[in-house]
Chains A and B, each alone.
Chain A
Amino acid sequence: MVPAERYGYTVARLRAMENRILDDSVLQRLVESDDLENAMKILGETPYSSWLVELKSNSEFDKTIELELGFVYSEITKFVPDTRLVDICRIPYDFHNVKVLLKSHILQRDGGDRRFDLLTTLGKIPTDDLILAIESEDYRLLPFGLHSAFPRSLTMWEQSHDILEVEKSLDRLLFGEMRKLAREINVDAVDKWLKGRIDAENLRNILRLKRMELDPAVVASFLHDGGWVSIERLVSLLGEPIEGWGRVLSFADIGGVLLHAQESIDLSSLIVEMEKVLDEYTTGILRRAKYGAFSPENILYYIWSKEMESKNLRMILVAIANDTDRDMVRGLMRRG
């Protein structure tokens, strides 16, 4: 564990970098934009302006969002005393890339096209290295247990042709690696954040799976260990009406977010609403970090805030591009 005194420079720099985070007034102006061109003009007045010059057309806004987030990740990695604090946030992107490459590999075998355009540069492993390792079938140097997980996933696919099963095993490895990193970092707040994040992911999964009316044993296999709420307790929710879930989980912090379940009209709208509520729940766990001038969790809080900004921005710009209802977007925006 890196001593807290070493975070003085890092936290101060992050406080100064908070000016890069778009405030509510900018997001509201973006929501009210008539078209993508106006939205891009507003973005041009923000730190995103540096990346706008790289766009060929306004419809490539996703690239701007990715470039800004990538800049934040690479910049923070340079000055943070313990880079594992950044790695724990980047791992999900590495696993996303692995899933994309795995599916590309399978598609290619069946005569389809490879989808390298779906790869993200936000992961810790450079995409070129990942592609090279997979194309040359030289997995030895892949980190996070992927050196054995990737060939295992391929074998699993060949045996079962069940992509959900393959994704499930990769997700299990992802959360296992995140837990391992959190143990190595050895900061209480990071552990709490990860537990909260696993709870949120489990609740998100269980809501989706309830809609599919799957067997509880199947549902259990989609849930992850390591949260505040045990898998057994989560599976027991399936026997209860959704309105009663908050009562069953009232012993845990995440029980509070289920109060929203009582107000929702149907399961589909609840799932959409819960996506936002669960993200805000995770933000809430980290929010206490801002009171610590030397707390390592400030790094997670900043990165998470940027992630939420990216989500909000993506939602707003997609809504503008497709001319969908702006009030719906306002309702789904994550609050910091």
Chain B
Amino acid sequence: MDLLGIMLAICGAALAAGFAGAGSAIGVGIAGESGAGVMTEDPGKFGLVLLLQALPGTQGIYGLLIAFFAILKVGLLGGGGAVTVNVWQGLGVLFACLPIAIAGYFSGIAQGKTSASCIQMIAKRPEETGKAVILPAMVETYAVLALLMSIILLNGIQI
């Protein structure tokens, strides 16, 4: 049963890193396609395009962060050695990882689409770069909220 608890915690960490990372990969890909389109015509916009393309990448980082926290929590990382984790504690870690896994996946894709649209915007109006960064950053809010919730939930689990 102890092993099952650890496995559930690992599953949570894998979901957090995997789903949030996948969302980011799709989002960065969508924004990258638009960026390539703009740079084919105007290579001088590389700096602006790179900034906007990088924005959907943060969900993957948040997912990775939560995955680290989760495996640290069950003692799989660091010098302390593995701790005893029962099924309910393992399940708790798994659930704590879900906010960033789900919100990271969907917000990564949504942010990628918004970034792609904003890249199109700066293709025509480079003077509006400030506004173009704010719009995808609004999507980021929800990934940050999910990250906070995952951290709070992980901290709340007593092992």
Chain A interface residues toward B at CB < 8 A: 5, 8-19, 79, 293-294
Given contacts A19-B124, A293-B113, contact A13 B30 (CB under 8 A): no
Chain B residues with Cβ under 8 A from A18's Cβ?
123-124
With most chain B CB atoms within 10 A of its CB, the pick from A5, A8, A11, A293 is A8
Chain B residues with Cβ under 8 A from A17's Cβ?
41
Q: How far is the CA of A79 from the CA of B41 in the complex (A)?
A: 12
Select which of A5, A10, A12, A14 is within 8 A of B119 by beta carbon. A12
Chain A residues with Cβ under 8 A from B33's Cβ?
8-9, 12
Q: Which residue of A lies closest to B122 (CB)?
A: A15
- Whether B117 pairs with A13 at a CB distance below 8 angstroms is no
- Whether B38 pairs with A12 at a CB distance below 8 angstroms is yes
- Whether B30 pairs with A15 at a CB distance below 8 angstroms is no
Given contacts A5-B30, A8-B30, A11-B120, contact A16 B113 (CB under 8 A): no
Select which of B34, B40, B42 is within 8 A of A11 by beta carbon. B34
Q: How far is the CA of A48 from the CA of B133 in the complex (A)?
A: 33
- Whether B123 pairs with A16 at a CB distance below 8 angstroms is yes
- Whether A15 pairs with B123 at a CB distance below 8 angstroms is yes
B72 contacts A by Cβ under 8 Å:
no
Per-position 1/0 for B37-62, Cβ under 8 A of A: 11011100000000000000000000
- Whether B124 pairs with A8 at a CB distance below 8 angstroms is no
With most chain B CB atoms within 10 A of its CB, the pick from A5, A16, A293 is A16
Q: Which residue of B lies closest to A8 (CB)?
A: B33
Quote the shortest CB–CB distance from A33 to chain B (angstroms).
27
Q: How far is the CA of A294 from the CA of B34 in the complex (A)?
A: 10
- Please name 10 further chain A to chain B contacts, defined as beta carbons within 8 Å, in addition to the given A9-B34, A11-B34, A19-B41, sorted by A numbering: A8-B30, A8-B116, A9-B37, A12-B120, A13-B41, A16-B42, A79-B40, A293-B34, A293-B120, A294-B116
Quote the shortest CB–CB distance from A297 to chain B (angstroms).
14
- Whether B124 pairs with A15 at a CB distance below 8 angstroms is yes
Chain A residues with Cβ under 8 A from B36's Cβ?
9, 12
Q: List 30 contacting pairs A-B, 8 Å CB cutoff, sorted by A.
A: A5-B30, A8-B30, A8-B34, A8-B116, A9-B33, A9-B34, A9-B36, A9-B37, A11-B34, A12-B33, A12-B35, A12-B38, A12-B116, A13-B37, A13-B41, A15-B37, A15-B120, A15-B121, A15-B123, A15-B124, A16-B41, A16-B42, A17-B41, A18-B124, A79-B40, A293-B34, A293-B116, A293-B117, A293-B120, A294-B113
Q: How far is the CA of A13 from the CA of B119 in the complex (A)?
A: 10
Closest 9 CB pairs of A and B: A12-B37, A16-B41, A13-B37, A12-B34, A293-B117, A8-B33, A16-B123, A15-B123, A9-B37
Chain B residues with Cβ under 8 A from A16's Cβ?
37-38, 40-42, 123-124
Quote the shortest CB–CB distance from A50 to chain B (angstroms).
14
Q: How far is the CA of A40 from the CA of B80 in the complex (A)?
A: 79
Q: Which residue of A lies closest to B120 (CB)?
A: A15
Per-position 1/0 for B115-141, Cβ under 8 A of A: 011011101100000000000000000
Chain B residues with Cβ under 8 A from A5's Cβ?
30
Chain B residues with Cβ under 8 A from A12's Cβ?
33-38, 116, 119-120, 123
Chain B residues with Cβ under 8 A from A9's Cβ?
33-34, 36-37
Interface set, chain B 21-35, CB cutoff 8 A to A: 30, 33-35
Quote the shortest CB–CB distance from B55 to chain A (angstroms).
15
Chain A residues with Cβ under 8 A from B113's Cβ?
293-294
Q: How far is the CA of A11 from the CA of B123 in the complex (A)?
A: 11
Q: How far is the CA of A9 from the CA of B113 in the complex (A)?
A: 12
Chain A residues with Cβ under 8 A from B42's Cβ?
16, 19
